[in-house]
């Protein structure tokens, strides 16, 4: 019995792992979502649960955030995380006594380039390594005080790419008195890969591995995952070695990636002082499980009733606003109407989007919303960026009547379906996704689902939108009027929200994981 990749589904790129005892912690990029830089916890490397975020707000003065490639480490009795907010202070460091937080305020390090990493050496020196200049595409390094962010030596180049002229995502490791430099190369899409070199000095020069790239999926387009790279290398508490890496799932030969880059796990063996990854790790989704005792976490509830005094950690928003855009009414979630999409595009205003990662190629999301007064509108959304999204919208068309429409925004093309009229002020909306399309529906008066429209998943592909985001599925609300017209009130109240994955492998994995847990 094995486990299924990816071990973290949905938008979870650039995975970085650290270990404290028998516990493993993993941080990923989150790009424009808040809270930012999610952190997951595992005890067997296969089952992960979201335990917190390293950043609650943008590091800059504006409303937007864009976080890249964090590195998480446990040393000196604390957790340290370095990352980049490309719209804010640049590269920064935060720390915490416990991974759940509270995390310290971000301390700036420098503002040039991205993909910072930390290496705590055996002699107490801490090395700061990151992508170098745009022109040189090299890797630079300095000594650092991780508590203050102050560089203790000048940044200097230590390597260029081992197989290409485009290197990023560096991680420096001290293993058996040898220094290893792990790189991501080849860009971050189809030609992505992980390479490695070694040296007796942390400053190089680094001897390239003869098998570089030691992790890649350049074999064939028809394999179910592509773009494998940006890896992390670590030793488990039982002495086995592993790598986490990002890749994208593709259900067919020519499918684009709309779920975003996800986190994959693969075993590592050592030969002649070099790490090797089995070829099947980048060619198939099922692998043999780690030898660690299985430790599945309780499954989260399918339905969120919004009955707590805080939102579930899986919910994220887009950017920061001066006024709260939602309020928990316990039960229920009151959504304040935000700007229209035209205003968002024209002014950069922050939309009222509250959503969660789409984790499955095949899934259902359902909600019941109660509309506020005219001209408010609200509903379900599949959101990639402010220029690429589909929304199933309910809006008032009378005192006791609603219109339901499907809006599709793909670049500068925007279309709206013919409205379907339903009686009342509350309505149940659903989207059903498969690998090729989203089907949007409204619950009719006879308890039947009425299709409003469809949207192709490929039109929300990251390659098309030129974004690193993955699709979020959730709620959207608009005021129905320009924001300058006055303070928007409650557009709608979401009474509940359902999400369930329908991928065939998801149920198989659940059964398989249960058998593994029972056998352990």
Asked if 34 contacts 56 with a C-beta cutoff of 8 angstroms, the reply is yes
Q: Cβ(257)–Cβ(250) under 8 Å?
A: yes
Active site residue 23: no
H or E element, residue 518: helix 504-519
| φ, ψ at 456 (rounded to 5°) | -70, 135
DSSP per position, 350-404 = PPEEEEEE---SSEEEEEEEEE-STT-EEEEEEEEETTEEEEEEEEEEETTEEEE
List the catalytic residue out of 32, 85, 168, 377.
Answer: 168
Catalytic status, residue 272: no
Q: Is 24 within 8 Å of 16 (Cβ atoms)? A: no
Q: Which long-range contacts (CB under 8 A, 24 or more apart) does 124-129 make?
A: 125/202, 126/75, 127/172, 127/202, 128/82, 129/158, 129/170, 129/171, 129/172, 129/181
DSSP 118-158: EEE-TTS-EEEEEE--TTT--EEEEEEETTTTEESS--EEE
**178 vs 170, 175, 205, 225, 289, CA distance in Å?**
16, 5, 12, 32, 29
Beta bridge partners of 244: 232, 265
| CA neighbor of 321 nearest in space, from 354, 355, 350 | 350
* Contact between 54 and 340 (Cβ < 8 Å): no
Catalytic residue among 14, 185, 304, 360: 14
Provide the token pair at 492: 């709608």
Quick check: 12 and 468 in contact, CB under 8 A?
no
Instruction: Decide the pairing of beta strands 49-55 and 274-276.
Output: unpaired
Catalytic residues, which ones?
14, 168
């Amino acid at each position: 019995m094995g486990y299924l990749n990816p071990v973290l589904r949905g938008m979870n790129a650039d995975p970085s792992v650290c270990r404290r005892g028998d516990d493993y912690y993993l941080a990923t990029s989150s790009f424009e979502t808040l809270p930012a830089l999610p952190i997951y916890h595992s005890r067997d490397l296969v089952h992960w649960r979201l335990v917190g975020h390293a950043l609650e707000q943008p590091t800059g003065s504006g409303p937007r955030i864009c976080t890249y490639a964090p590195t998480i480490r446990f040393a000196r009795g604390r957790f340290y995380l370095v990352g980049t907010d490309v719209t804010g202070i640049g590269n920064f460091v935060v720390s915490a006594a416990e991974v759940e937080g509270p995390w310290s305020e971000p301390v700036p390090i420098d503002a040039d380039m991205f993909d910072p990493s930390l290496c705590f050496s055996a002699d107490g020196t801490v090395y700061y390594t990151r992508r170098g200049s745009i022109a040189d595409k090299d890797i630079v390094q300095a000594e650092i005080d991780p508590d203050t962010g102050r560089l203790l030596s000048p940044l200097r180049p230590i390597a260029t790419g081992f197989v290409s002229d485009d290197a990023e995502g560096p991680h420096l490791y001290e293993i058996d008195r040898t220094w290893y430099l792990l790189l991501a190369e080849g860009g971050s899409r189809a030609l992505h890969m992980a390479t490695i070199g070694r040296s007796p000095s942390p400053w190089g020069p680094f001897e390239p591995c003869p098998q570089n790239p030691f992790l890649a999926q350049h074999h064939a387009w028809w394999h179910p995952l592509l773009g494998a790279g940006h890896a992390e290398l670590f030793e488990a508490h039982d002495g086995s070695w592993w790598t986490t890496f990002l890749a994208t799932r593709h259900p067919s030969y020519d499918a684009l990636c709309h779920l975003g880059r996800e986190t994959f796990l693969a075993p590592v063996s050592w030969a002649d002082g070099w790490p090797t990854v089995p070829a099947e790790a980048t060619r198939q989704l099922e692998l043999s499980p780690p030898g660690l005792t299985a430790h599945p976490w309780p499954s989260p509830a399918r339905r969120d009733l919004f009955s707590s005094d805080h939102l579930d950690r899986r919910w994220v928003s887009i950017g920061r606003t001066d006024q709260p855009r939602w309020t928990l009414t316990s039960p229920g979630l009151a959504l304040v109407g935000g700007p229209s999409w035209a205003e968002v595009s024209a002014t950069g205003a922050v939309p009222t989007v509250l959503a969660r990662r789409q984790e499955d190629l095949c899934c259902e999301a359902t909600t019941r919303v109660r509309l506020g007064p005219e001209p408010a509108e609200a509903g379900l959304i599949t959101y990639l960026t402010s220029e690429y999204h589909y929304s199933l919208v309910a809006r008032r068309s009378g005192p006791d009547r609603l219109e339901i429409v499907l809006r599709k925004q793909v670049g500068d093309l925007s279309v709206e379906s013919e409205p379907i009229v339903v009686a009342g002020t509350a309505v149940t909306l659903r989207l059903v996704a498969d690998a090729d399309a989203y089907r949007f529906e409204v619950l009719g008066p006879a308890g039947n689902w009425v299709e409003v429209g469809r949207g192709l998943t490929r039109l929300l592909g990251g390659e098309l939108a030129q974004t690193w985001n993955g699709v979020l599925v959730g709620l959207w609300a608009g005021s129905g009027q320009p924001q300058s017209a006055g303070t928007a009130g409650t557009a709608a109240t979401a009474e509940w929200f359902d999400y369930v994955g329908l991928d065939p492998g998801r149920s198989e994995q659940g059964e398989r994981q249960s058998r593994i847990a029972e056998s352990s």
